[in-house]
Amino acid sequence: MLEGDLIYSLISPMTGIIAFLLGIYVVFKNPFLEASRIFASIMSLFLIVGFLDFAFMNISNEEWAKAIVRIIFFVTVLIYGGFLYLSYFLPSGIESMWISRHKIGFLIILLTVASIPSLLVDELVMTSVGWSVPDSPAIYALEIILVNYTLATILVLARAYRMTDVKNTRIQCILMGLGIVSPLLWALILMILEFLRVQNPPLLSPGFLIGAFFFTFAVIKQKLFIVMPVEERGSIAKKGRTGSRGAIPPLYPGQCLLIESKDREIAYSIFLDQIVKGYKGLLISRTYPDAIKERYGIVDTPIIWLANQPGPDRVDPTNLSIVLHLVGEFLRRGENAIVMIDGIEYIISNNPIDRVLKMLFAIKDDVIVMKSILIVPLDPDVLEERHLSILEKEFERIRMEGAGTEI
């Protein structure tokens, strides 16, 4: 017969299931984004903790209960370490962070720290609502570790909040912070109830459930870790473009432009002109995003940086499937979309040319079907003539020669 409070203990697996489904949803929307995969992994850990929590409260054998709570402590620390890592995927301005450059080192430290409270578990007490861990070095170690991970995460989120003027990103920071803090606030409530000698179920299930709801709202309503089409509100949208487009004709839905020139300004001029007209843009570029934002007054338009170093809003140039998926999902989420891939030469230098061409043709097909616009600036000298000829047959070519324009 179960010795714990069955109804209360069911909150734990329910919380885990909600979190797991949330992770599945995010990774389904963006399966190739590292942030999506990490978020899904953390939500899977929620599922593990939820069912272990249920087992801990209802098992009768004390030794088995000790083994279970050791695993719970270990996985809980992993969850909070994962949140710290995940927080760096918001635009915090911390670009050369130690964590992103030393993943193995961070993981080793996290596993070591997570082992401390697990190894310190020594005794349990049986209450009317199931097993409980009394005040002990294990509890103190767990609390100190979680508080420190939480504070570190909140500091990163606070920096991300200050670094952006985008309302949606700020709301994401707040909701993510509330989701992380909720279990600790619930733990504080439990401590107060225990001090007042009020009998209460011993673990953190309601706190994790509240946190799961915050994350649910952040993902479903605020599109956390999902690249969404948005209308630009920056100075470029307010002031418009003054640059001349010369003899370039008006663009139309489904158009795919190959702009052959060593100068990128004409491509940016076309791209930004369409944003001013209300198109929702996605820019994939080798140029550092902050430099682009400062130069052109862009605020809301998502910019993905082609870079080998991992971090927020970046994509490895060798992962062409990620680029293809990002563009495809972006096009499917909004009307009047325009995509510019600035840095195709860098992609070519990191991949076989045949793979790059296949990616561009697949993106072109998506653009045509979704009635969007694609712009690909290219220095023609980087390609062999036969490959350039293939591209020119698939795209509408604009060649810039000196001050003139050839269409």
Residues 241 and 160 placed together within one structural domain of the fold: no
Residues 25 and 137 placed together within one structural domain of the fold: yes
Decide: 42 and 36 in contact? Cβ < 8 Å.
no
Give the domain-ending residue among 220, 248, 276: 220
Asked if residue 230 is part of any domain, the answer here is no
Decide: 300 and 236 in contact? Cβ < 8 Å.
no
> What b-and-e string marks burial along 124-146, b requiring 16 or more CB atoms within 10 Å of the CB?
beebebbbbbeeeebbebbeebb
Residues 194 and 264 placed together within one structural domain of the fold: no
Asked if residue 228 is part of any domain, the answer here is no
Cβ neighbours for 123, distance < 8 A, ≥ 6 positions apart: 134, 136
Q: How many other C-beta atoms lie within 10 A of the C-beta of residue 294?
A: 10
Residues 193 and 272 placed together within one structural domain of the fold: no
Gyration radius of the chain over CA positions: 26
User: What's residue 99's pLDDT?
Assistant: 67
pLDDT tens string 3-21: 445 666 777 888 888 888 8
Asked if residue 226 is part of any domain, the answer here is no
User: What's residue 182's pLDDT?
Assistant: 85
Residues 39 and 161 placed together within one structural domain of the fold: yes
Tokens of residue 401, six digits: 């020669």
Residues 184 and 329 placed together within one structural domain of the fold: no
At position 306, the amino acid (one-letter code) is: L
CA 205, CA 228: separation in Å to the nearest integer?
32
Question: How many domains would you assign to the chain?
Answer: 2
Q: How far is the CA of 286 from the CAs of 92, 292, 308, 315, 396, in angstroms? A: 20, 10, 11, 10, 23
Asked if residue 402 is part of any domain, the answer here is yes
Decide: 279 and 231 in contact? Cβ < 8 Å.
no
User: What's residue 197's pLDDT?
Assistant: 65
User: What's residue 101's pLDDT?
Assistant: 65
Residue numbers in the chain where pLDDT is lower than 50: 1-4, 93, 95-96, 238-240, 242, 244, 402-405, 407
User: What's residue 77's pLDDT?
Assistant: 94
User: What's residue 247's pLDDT?
Assistant: 54
Domain of residue 327: give its range. Answer: 235-406
Residues 165 and 59 placed together within one structural domain of the fold: yes
At position 195, the amino acid (one-letter code) is: F
User: What's residue 96's pLDDT?
Assistant: 42
Q: How far is the CA of 300 from the CAs of 115, 218, 237, 303, 314, in angstroms? A: 42, 18, 10, 9, 16
Asked if residue 111 is part of any domain, the answer here is yes
Distance of CA 149 to the CA centre of its chain: 19
**Between vectors from CA 109 to CA 12 and to CA 114, what angle results, nearest 5°?**
30
Asked if residue 229 is part of any domain, the answer here is no
Asked if residue 307 is part of any domain, the answer here is yes
Q: How many other C-beta atoms lie within 10 A of the C-beta of residue 100?
A: 19
Where residue 311 falls (left for φ over 0; alpha for ψ -120 to 50; beta otherwise) is left
Tokens of residue 299, six digits: 């605020």
Nearest to 299 by CA among 340, 250, 239: 239
Residues 51 and 197 placed together within one structural domain of the fold: yes
3-state SS, one letter per residue, for 58-87:
HCCCHHHHHHHHHHHHHHHHHHHHHHHHHH
Residues 184 and 262 placed together within one structural domain of the fold: no
Residues 131 and 255 placed together within one structural domain of the fold: no
Residues 20 and 165 placed together within one structural domain of the fold: yes
Asked if residue 1 is part of any domain, the answer here is no
Domain CATH code at residue 135:
1.20.1070.10
Give the domain-ending residue among 195, 220, 245: 220
Give the domain-ending residue among 220, 247, 274: 220
Give the β-pairing of 314-315 and 125-127: unpaired
pLDDT tens string 173-191: 888 888 888 887 887 777 7
Q: How many other C-beta atoms lie within 10 A of the C-beta of residue 353?
A: 16
Give the β-pairing of 404-406 and 396-401: antiparallel
Domain CATH code at residue 242:
3.40.50.300
Residues 180 and 57 placed together within one structural domain of the fold: yes
